[in-house]
Each structure stands twice: as C-alpha cells, then as structure tokens.
C-alpha cells in the first residue's frame, strides 16, 4: 500500500513539474506578448485539466516506482521534460498559448454593442478581445456579455 502511495505522489510531483514549465512558457510567450493582465497562478489553476493530469500522474508514478528499468523511466521523463521546456522558446510557447487559449472569429454582444473578432484570453471576470472593427485589443466584462 505504501508503494502505491509513493507511486501516486511521485507521479503527481513529476506532473506538476512538467505542468509548471508548460504554463510558464505560455505566460512568458503568449500572455506577456499580448500584454494580457494575468498572474501566473490564475493561469495555472484555471487551466489544469484533471482528465490529463491524473492519468499522466498515475502512468509516470507507476513507471518510476514499479518498473525496474531506470533507462526507460529516464528516457520517458527526459522526453516529456524536453517537450515541456520547449514552451520556453518564444515561437513554441506562443503557438501552444494560441492553441489552448485563443478563439478566432467570434461574435459577442452586450446590451448596446456587437463585437466581432478574436478572444485572446477568456478570464474569470474579463475577456481580452481583439475587435476587427476597432483594430485594437479591448477588455469586456463577462457579466455584460449576452450568451
């Protein structure tokens, strides 16, 4: 039973480490690039996906604790680390941020206006939106937007 907990916690630790660098790359190369006012902690917490995080934690924990092949464990973790660290490169980090966070060609309405453009970041209270007509980035309050 203790070996099972050890595998679980080892997998969670490794997965948090990998997640940290993915979101750091997105923060540096997408969020800061577009001058979106957002703290790293909010980005990290709001975009965790339990359907990816927990299975990956179980797999990595099982691989490290139960599989007695150190080379295999090292190769798998080093490959995943290289992939996640690659988001620190500006082009890759921006591409990953665009894929995960941007919604293109969206129409939004509030009580008096209609907006057509791209959502750069859909936050907790505000939407960072590039309006095609205004040709600039604007912030929209989520509570004012009609769905």
Across residues 7-17, what is the average pLDDT? 95
Q: Is 28 left (phi over 0), alpha (psi -120 to 50) or beta?
A: alpha
Q: Are 64 and 78 in contact (CB under 8 A)?
A: no
Query: Residue ranges per domain, the chain?
Result: 2-100, 102-144
pLDDT for 52-89, tens place per residue? 999 999 999 999 999 888 899 999 999 999 999 999 99
Q: pTM value?
A: 0.88
| pLDDT for 68 | 83
| pLDDT for 27 | 96
pLDDT for 120-147, tens place per residue? 999 899 999 999 999 999 999 989 887 5
Indicate the pLDDT class of residue 41, thresholds 50, 70 and 90: confident
| DSSP per-residue string spanning the chain | -HHHHHHHHHHHHHHHHHHHHHHHHHIIIIITTTT----HHHHHHHT--HHHHHHHHHHHHHHHHT---HHHHHHHHHHHHHHHHGGGSHHHHHHHHHHHH-EEEEEEE-SS-EEEEEEEEE-SSEEEEEETTTTEEEEEEGGG-B-
- Residue 6 in this model has a pLDDT that exceeds 80: yes
Count of CB atoms situated within 10 Å of the CB of 18: 20
Nearest-angstrom CA–CA distance, 23 and 43: 7
- How long, in residues, is the chain? 147
Indicate the pLDDT class of residue 111, thresholds 50, 70 and 90: confident
**Phi and psi dihedrals of 59, rounded to 5?**
-65, -50
Place of tokens 């989520």: 142
Nearest-angstrom CA–CA distance, 129 and 137: 6
């Amino acid at each position: 039973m203790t070996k099972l907990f050890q595998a679980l916690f080892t997998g969670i630790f490794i997965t948090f480490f990998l997640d940290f660098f993915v979101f750091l790359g997105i923060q540096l190369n997408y969020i800061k690039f577009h001058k979106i006012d957002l703290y790293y902690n909010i980005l990290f917490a709001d975009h965790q996906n339990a359907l990816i995080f927990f299975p990956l934690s179980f797999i990595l924990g099982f691989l490290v604790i139960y599989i007695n092949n150190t080379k295999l464990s090292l190769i798998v973790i080093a490959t995943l680390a290289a992939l996640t660290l690659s988001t620190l490169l500006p082009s890759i980090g921006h591409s990953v941020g665009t894929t995960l966070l941007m919604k293109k060609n969206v129409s939004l309405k509030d009580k008096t206006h209609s907006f057509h453009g791209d959502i750069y970041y859909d936050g907790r209270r505000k939407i960072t939106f590039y309006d095609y007509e205004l040709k600039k980035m604007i912030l929209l309050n989520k509570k004012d937007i009609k769905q």
